[in-house]
Each structure stands twice: as structure tokens, then as C-alpha cells.
């Protein structure tokens, strides 16, 4: 395992996964988030390219990154993708996260209450269209595991069951679905990448 300070490189290019350290990087995340919101895409684009469901204003990104740094993939100054580190403590100011957690209360994982484990959330992962198919999802998640697996048992996220592209990508990483639920926005699959057991 590499040290957290090192970069993970995509073998076929100068792409690298790094921790977010500047406001400019957060602004780039916010811009990419807006480009890929499902409300800004046609149904065909959603089906073919995937989409993100939650809008992330810059102020929220700044607050989240102050708790724990998110991971981005870059090529020079260009943002290729992001994977938002979202600690459970962020529910104090992240209203959507708070709603999500309340919906997960009482959920068990391996016979124990979900919230008895040490975990954080993947707030959102998104790859710029021109960088898709280059292994960046794997790169971003490998960086998360490298940096945070010593502190947490697993990484949890929710994926719209309509977002087939994302569901497949997460399964390839090693995520497993532990629960389904529906809210006012969509139907969601709750998925976990368990770092306490052998994973892909």
C-alpha cells in the first residue's frame, strides 16, 4: 500500500489521483457537478452516460472538505473526475445527507446496527465525459481506500437504481448492495465497499 501522500497514476496517461487542496479545485468540482446533474441532461444522456442526483454548491463543498479532503483525478490543471469524501458529521450542515441517514436508521449490516460501524459516505462520484472509459473510477476509489481505510471499516453510498452505468461501475470496484429504499427523489440502492474483508 502506498503512503497517503503519494499520487496514484493511471498507467496510460499523466492522470493522477490527489486530495483536494485549493478553492479552484472545489470550483472545478462544482462546475462538473452542474454539467452532470440529471435535471440538466436528456433521458437518453442519462441512460447512456449516467448522471448525478445531488447539486453541490461551492459553500457545501468547502464545508465538507474542511472535515476530510475529497479526492480528484487531474491531468495537469484539468479536472478529470471527483469523488467526494462525506463524513457522517457533515449531516449537521448537509440536509440531503441528514435525510439519507434518517432513512437508514435501524438498518443492520452483518447482524449489527449499521451506525455501530466506522464508516463515511461517498457523497458523489463523477467523471468528465471526455475522460470516461479510462479507469478513473477505479483510480479515485483506490485513492480513497489508500487514504481512509485505516480509519474506517467501509465506504457507503447510495445510487439511483436507474443509474445502471454507476451500479455496474461500483460492482466492479467491490461494492455490494445491502438495502433498497425510495424517497421523494428516486429509488436508491445502498451499497457498501467493506474494507475489513478481502475486496476486489
Q: How does DSSP assign 90-137, residue by residue?
A: GGGT-HHHHHHHHHHTT-EETTEEGGGS-EEEEEEEEE-GGGTTSSHH
Least confident of 39-43, 72-76, 188-192: 39-43
The number of distinct structural domains making up the chain is 1
Q: H or E stretch including 85? A: strand 78-86
Residue 52 per-residue DSSP state: B
- Is 141 a domain residue? yes
Residue 132 sits in which domain range?
A: 8-194
Residue 158, C-beta contacts closer than 8 angstroms, at least 6 positions apart:
100, 188, 189, 190, 191
Output the pLDDT for position 165.
83
- Is 46 a domain residue? yes
Least confident of 6-10, 27-31, 36-40: 6-10
Q: What percentage of the chain has pLDDT greater than the value 70?
A: 83
CA distance 68 to 98: 17
- Is 47 a domain residue? yes
When pLDDT is averaged across residues 106-120 and rounded to a whole number, the result is 96
Output the pLDDT for position 142.
96
- Residue 146's CATH number: 3.40.630.30
Residue 92, C-beta contacts closer than 8 angstroms, at least 6 positions apart:
98
Q: What is the pLDDT of residues 114-170, one digit of tens each?
A: 999 999 999 889 999 889 888 999 999 999 999 999 999 999 999 989 888 889 989
Nearest-CA neighbor of 71 among 2, 12, 21, 132? 21
- Is 187 a domain residue? yes
- Is 199 a domain residue? no
What are the respective helix, strand and coil percentages of the chain, to the nearest 5? 40, 30, 35
- Is 2 a domain residue? no
Amino acid at each position: 500500500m502506498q503512503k497517503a501522500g503519494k499520487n496514484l497514476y493511471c498507467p496510460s496517461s499523466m492522470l493522477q489521483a490527489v486530495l483536494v487542496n485549493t478553492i479552484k479545485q472545489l470550483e472545478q468540482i462544482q462546475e462538473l457537478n452542474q454539467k452532470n446533474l440529471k435535471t440538466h441532461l436528456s433521458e437518453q444522456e442519462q441512460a447512456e452516460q449516467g448522471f448525478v442526483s445531488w447539486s453541490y454548491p461551492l459553500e457545501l463543498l468547502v464545508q465538507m472538505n474542511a472535515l476530510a479532503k475529497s479526492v480528484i483525478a487531474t491531468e495537469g490543471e484539468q479536472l478529470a473526475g471527483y469523488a467526494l469524501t462525506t463524513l457522517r458529521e457533515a449531516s449537521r450542515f448537509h440536509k440531503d445527507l441528514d435525510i439519507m441517514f434518517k432513512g437508514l436508521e435501524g438498518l443492520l449490516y452483518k447482524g449489527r446496527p449499521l451506525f455501530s460501524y466506522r464508516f463515511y459516505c461517498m457523497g458523489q462520484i463523477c467523471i468528465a465525459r471526455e475522460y470516461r472509459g479510462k479507469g478513473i473510477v477505479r483510480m479515485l476509489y483506490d485513492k480513497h481506500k489508500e487514504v481512509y481505510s485505516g480509519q474506517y471499516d467501509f465506504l457507503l453510498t447510495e445510487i439511483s437504481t436507474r443509474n445502471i452505468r454507476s451500479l455496474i461501475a461500483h460492482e466492479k470496484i467491490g461494492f455490494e448492495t445491502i438495502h433498497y429504499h425510495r424517497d421523494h427523489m428516486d429509488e436508491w440502492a445502498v451499497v457498501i465497499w467493506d474494507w475489513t474483508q478481502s475486496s476486489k
